[in-house]
A and B are shown apart, each in its own frame.
Chain A
């Protein structure tokens, strides 16, 4: 039997699919198993097909695959949607007492469990999903004690009665399968380890990174798939002296965040593409007034309302070029969930060091995916804070003109000016989106205009020289062919390497977490035979940048179905592209 197990629960939105999946994922993590989850959901509150999938192994797992072993099907559609991924060793847990007729192909083991009746016996029909979890434990040989722990964590706050009822529901499910079926021929083995893993998704990692970085103020407006950042911070940031405001719209959110930043707080907002559209006007003001601010864009499928609950990496051009005039900025795109944490901290440091807005780019696939990590992956002792040229009462004196006025936009060699926050004595000054002189006063003087534009752009030049805009590397460093990726595709790509190796294909993979500035890949590209750029969009926005930088043509793998890449499909597509003619130079 395969070392890793792929499990899923599917039904209608409102059936508790998500929380049931999460409980099982937590139980597996508690058993020292790695977990990688994915979600399939529609943009509606109730009804419509929704599924929560878990891939679990004692080894690290970073992607979803085209195989499903155990399926909890609450609706017929759940079976229909997943048939192509099921195989001879697959089992389907379903409730034969339900009105729908389960049509399950013969080669797949049908496990009929009276989920509803057993749940009622345990104390309420609402627990039918937990009965199914108990059944799944029995089929896979997974110790139900871990499930008990996860149930305690989930329902502990609701009282011991609820916890006990849920444990009973799980036990009834387990016992029913043990008594009614002999499933030893399926041969599932759920090995456990002593490892302690934490289980979290990308949005949570961003929120946790913000608190670690000393962010105290967050303003946002709910939008899929960025809302979880705000939900994470609400109730937690207060414990660290911060506050979250749910603003009336994205325009307000970014302007509140701007106000807090000018008042000296580390400040952040998060949204998705449509919200970035609305925030773009203020984005120019933030850059021109030289305010440090972190703006998170958790991308979803666009344009317009697009497919709000589906994956895409289509906002790159907007983040790089959005806004009228020319706006200096940084664009960071973490490639894994743990990097969402570290890059958020880096985003705050860059914002304050260079007094610029920083876009932090996530995407739906990473935002809703939960993955296990050793807790050391989020080592708080390793967090470093750099507030840049923040001046105090004494230091202000070095930056005033002959009339004692603070030069908030002083023209310096590195382009970075001193920053005084309210309360700093003799630091009072105005900032504006108008072109201004060193004092922040409006000007149309041609020389001052050029001086200030150059000054602001020089900050980026300074950063390009000073900071390390590295990439992450995987695969065979000596391989002839190069695959370049950005954002959440990294995990699937890393796993694809194993499959390629099985077929005797070796490639070198570069995963790029910086969009602007970005590492110079010219040498790597020139040394390579084939270069393939992988991304979830139709027009190859990152591939275009690579071609521009290296003055060469690259091959492309683009997916814009709304579904993230899977390791096996990527492996197949890479082989296909490698077999194609090299594009004309």
Chain B
């Protein structure tokens, strides 16, 4: 890993096709800066993304990457990290990708506490399919598929993470570049599953959860004197239905990542030219 990596080294020469003003620009910039600031290098970084606007991120970034199928980015990231604990793994997704089709995987990735960061670009709408309700859409939000509002309460991803045993829960805002970068950096540096829900406004289809809305309502936990190691305080923030927060909400300082807990610390990409040494013992076992 070279020490003079700049965040632009993580940028590809492909121009993003996100709508002008999309929150995903800021979200991605923060991710690239956080990767560079934490001493990573494109050749030692693996970015996984699913489907949707968020899924395009692998194209606009430069690193080893896989753009997979809808909702399954976390298992892919898990497989990469197990095989190569030496590689920095970052998973990107959207609210549909992560909390709807991939909700099951989210719960299990959290509980496994695999050492990777998971950045969810939450715009509370389905953007790429042109404006349908998402799992984080407000229940009264009117969309093409919910003309009278969805009538279903939104998923609280932070609560889902907490209930699944998360060791790092954070929330950031794409437009607050410094704080967002700082929070993603902390997620990368966390020993375990670093989960960041990012408010990443959709300027085309969501006229409720806008930049102005978040600017006006977001409460910064640092300014509140919040202690992220205090589980009870974290629970209060997460279950507060009336306010929106940014910052590191919860961090378990004693977190032991999966690969260390299970002794999966070697590089699995090495394969000998024949059967591994001692393989004949496997045959003798059947005697």
Contacts and interface: CB of A to CB of B under 8 A. Distances in A.
Task: Indicate, yes or no, whether A interacts with B.
Answer: yes
Interface string A181-220: 0000000000000001111100010001001111011010
Interface in A229-265: 236, 238-243, 245, 247-249, 251-253, 255-265
B65 A429 contact: yes
B61 to A, nearest CB: 8
A427 B276 contact: no
B68 A375 contact: no
B66 A432 contact: yes
A441 B15 CA distance: 12
Contacts of B269: 263-265, 421, 423
B65 A247 contact: no
Interface in B73-93: 75-84, 86-87
A313 interface: no
Given A208-B283, A241-B268, A385-B273, A260 B83 contact: yes
Interface stretch (B125-133, B210-218, B258-266): B258-266
A86 to B, nearest CB: 31
Contacts of A236: 282
B22 interface: no
Contacts, number: 215
Nearest to A352: B271
A489 interface: no
A281 B69 contact: yes
A217 B264 CA distance: 10
Given A243-B264, A245-B82, A385 B58 contact: no
Contact of B279 (A241, A256, A258, A380): A380
A286 to B, nearest CB: 10
Interface in B50-67: 58-59, 62-67
Range for the number of chain B residues in contact with chain A = 35 or more
A147 B131 CA distance: 71
Contact of A217 (B46, B65, B79, B283): B79
B78 A245 contact: yes
B65 A430 contact: yes
Q: Give the one of B45, B58, B268 with max A CB within 10 A.
A: B268
Given A198-B287, A427-B43, A428-B63, A248 B276 contact: no
Contacts of B225: none
Interface residues of A, number: 72
Nearest to A393: B43
Contacts of B263: 238
A31 B78 CA distance: 47
A548 interface: no
A175 interface: no
Interface of A is mostly: mixed
B83 A264 contact: yes
B14 interface: yes
Contacts of A426: 43
B273 to A, nearest CB: 5
Interface string B126-148: 00000000000000000000000
Contacts of B241: none
A198 B275 CA distance: 19
Contacts of A219: 75, 79
A11 to B, nearest CB: 26
Contacts of B66: 258-259, 262, 289, 430-432
Nearest to B104: A248
B68 A258 contact: yes
B79 A261 contact: yes
A282 interface: yes
Q: Give the one of A387, A424, A428 with max B CB within 10 A.
A: A428
A29 B287 CA distance: 8
Contact of B283 (A30, A198, A425): A198
A5 B12 CA distance: 70
A263 B80 contact: yes
Contact of B271 (A260, A266, A375): A266
A433 B283 CA distance: 40
Contacts of A178: none
B65 A257 contact: no
Interface in A255-297: 255-267, 281-282, 285, 289
A281 B69 CA distance: 8
A428 B62 CA distance: 7
Contacts of B48: 259
A422 B78 contact: no
Nearest to B87: A422
A384 interface: yes
A261 B78 CA distance: 11
A381 interface: yes
B8 interface: no
B84 A263 contact: yes
B180 interface: no
A380 B274 contact: yes
A375 B268 contact: no
A380 B58 contact: no
A389 interface: no
A381 B275 contact: yes
A355 B87 CA distance: 22
A429 B272 contact: no
B287 A252 contact: no
B76 A255 contact: yes
B284 interface: yes
A263 B273 contact: no
A466 interface: no
Given A375-B280, A427-B64, 19 more contacts: A214-B276, A241-B266, A242-B268, A251-B75, A252-B72, A256-B78, A258-B79, A260-B82, A263-B80, A267-B79, A289-B66, A384-B274, A385-B274, A423-B44, A423-B84, A426-B43, A428-B42, A430-B58, A432-B67
9 contacts: A198-B283, A198-B287, A217-B268, A240-B278, A252-B75, A262-B64, A385-B273, A422-B46, A428-B63
Interface of A: 29-30, 196-200, 204, 208, 211-214, 216-217, 219, 236, 238-243, 245, 247-249, 251-253, 255-267, 281-282, 285, 289, 375, 378, 380-381, 383-385, 387, 403, 421-434, 441-442
